[in-house]
Amino acid sequence: MLISANELTALLKRVFEGMGYTPGHYEDAAALVSWLQLHREDGLGELERALDLVADRDRQANELVAEGPATLIAECHGRSALNCLPILLELACVQALEQGSIRVEIQHCHNRKFILKLLADCARQGLWAQARWENGHDPVRRHVARIEAGAAYPTYREYRLPDHLPQANRQSLTLDLGTVAHPQPELEVGAAREERCVTPADFTLARQQALENGTEISPALWQRLNQLAEAVLVESSERSRSCAGGR
């Protein structure tokens, strides 16, 4: 079924609010999922696959493990990017603007693809940004997204790594940020084979089409999300009806 962007975001806000995300966080999480979905990068699929992970109110909070003059290492304790990345990216942006550039290592974080929207936010603040993470088993895929300062969209590439290559850091993500005065590091792909490249033009077109025609969601997932969103609703009673602004 087709849904609008506004409807998608509004529903996701209620879903995350119902999961216990506080104001400020549920809007961010909804925006991250919507962004991927509206740019044809399957935000809803990513969310559906990770629904058990994103309701992580019982997980340990984000932690800054180490801070150097040009580095930041954060431990997310298995949290979803939906609730740990925005706040870490903001801190990284502040450091990058102060120092010129910074490398951030984020450990034990799920759903790292949601960083794509945050890269666009960094670019809007006048920073270039590059994110790299690996995912999957046999084959392992490397994901790289780069954006220029001031650009609206990143270029996002997926590479297939040579078979049987062990993954060094499970669920980690490396992020480089910098001002235009500092050069963006060269992309190191080694023996990796490029399988997919999404350009800024592709993102632009996807967004235009989603706005023109709506975005697709499976009725089953739509129903599931609506059920999750019911957590924000209060049971009705005769007394509550009398306080509803009606007769």
Partner 1 sequence: MSTPSVLESGLPEAASLSMRPASLVMDLERLGSLHQSRLSFMRSLVRRIMRERWQIEPQRFDLDADGYGTVIYRIRTRSDLFSFVLFSQYLAPEKRNDRVIASEWDLTMALCEGEVEDAYVDYLRRNVPLQEAGRLDAKVMVLSRANRSVRNFDSVVDALAHGRQPEIAQIAKVGYLYRTTAVYGSGKLGMADWEKVSRKHPDFARPFAAEMFTCFMLRNFSLQQAEFIARRRSPATAVALEPRLKRYFGIGNSTGLGMAPYLINHPQLISRWVEMRELALARILASAPVAAERLERLPQLVDRAIRHLEENFTEDEWQTGNNQRVLADLQALHEHLDRHPLQSWQPLLEWAQRHASLQGEELINCILLELHPDLVDELEDRLALPEQLELDPEMPVIRLKALIETSYDWALAIDFNADGAQETFWYRSEEKQEPRLGNCSLDEGREKQMPLGIGYLVQQCYQRITEYLAEHPQHKVARFLLRHPEQRGIVRRIQGMALTHYGEIRANLLDRDVLPMHLLRCKLSFFGVSKFDPRSRLWVRNTMFQGAPLLEDIGHPFDDDWFLPLAPTQEKS
Interface residues with partner 1 (CB under 8 A) are: 1-7, 22-25, 27-28, 61-62, 64, 87, 90-91, 93-94, 97, 124-125, 211-214, 230-236, 239-241, 243-247
Q: DSSP 3-state assignment of 86?
A: helix
Residues paired with 79 in a beta bridge = 109
CB closer to partner 1 out of 61 and 152: 61
**Least distance to partner 1, CB of residue 185, Å:** 22
Between residues 107 and 125, which has the closer beta carbon with respect to partner 1? Answer: 125
Q: What CA–CA distance (Å, rounded) separates 185 from 176?
A: 8
Residue 28 or 134 with smaller CB distance to partner 1: 28
Strand order in the sheet with 141-147: 63-67, 71-80, 101-110, 173-179, 127-135, 141-147, 155-160, 193-198
CA angle 50, 106, 141 (to 5 degrees): 60
Closer to partner 1 by Cβ: residue 4 or 107 = 4
Q: Which is nearer to partner 1, 20 or 45 (CB)?
A: 20
Q: In angstroms, give the least distance from the CB of 234 to partner 1.
A: 3
Token pair belonging to 210: 């989603």
d(CA 204, CA 120): 12
Alpha-helical segments (H) within 100-172: 115-124
CB 179 within 8 A of CB 123: no
Least distance from partner 1 to the Cβ atom of residue 233, Å: 4
- Judged by DSSP in three states, 68 sits in coil
b/e 166-176 (16+ beta carbons within 10 angstroms → b): eeeeebbbebb
Q: Is 194 helix (H, G, I), strand (E, B) or coil?
A: strand
Tokens of 217: 């969601």
Nearest to partner 1 of 89, 198 (CB atom): 89
Query: Residue 182 and residue 203: Cα distance in Å, rounded?
Result: 26
Q: Least separation, in Å, of the C-beta of 188 and partner 1?
A: 29
**In the bound complex, what is the minimum distance in angstroms from residue 199's beta carbon to partner 1?**
22
Nearest approach, Cβ of 110 to partner 1 (angstroms)? 18
Least distance from partner 1 to the Cβ atom of residue 8, Å? 8
For residues 65 and 197, which CB has a smaller minimum distance to partner 1 in the complex?
65
Give the residue carrying structure tokens 């077109």.
Answer: 205
